[in-house]
Amino acid sequence: MLPHPSPYGQTLGDLKLLILGSKGIGKTTLANLLLESNDDIVHVSGWEGNVLTASTDWVDHEDNVGLEKYEPALNVQITELPGYDPQGDVS
């Protein structure tokens, strides 16, 4: 059974978040915590490269034989930029 989306999750639309920080500060942990145990998230697709994708709602489609099929909306993207060295040369 699919998790039921919250009213807020159904109306959220697309959300794109960019996380930037120094090396080893916990950017990946922060991204995971934003989605973990969040009542508005119905599906987490996981990491693909440096992008974490999730959904707050379901999209319904009909398959080839006319049966109703639900797919994640994939409307939440968290992109983690590579960490920088605060002591490094910015030029």
Kindly report the backbone phi and psi dihedral angles of residue 43, in degrees, each rounded to the nearest multiple of 5, phi listed first.
-160, 135
pTM for this one? 0.84
Q: What are 47-63's pLDDT values in tens digits?
A: 999 999 999 999 988 77
* pLDDT higher at 77 or 62: 77
- Sign, Cα dihedral of 43, 54, 33, 5: negative
Distance CA 43, CA 2 (A): 9
**What are the residue boundaries of the structural domains of the chain, listed by start?**
7-80
* pLDDT higher at 75 or 66: 75
Instruction: Give the pLDDT band of residue 91 (cuts 50, 70, 90).
Output: low
Query: Could you tell me how far CA 34 lies from the centroid of its own chain?
Result: 9
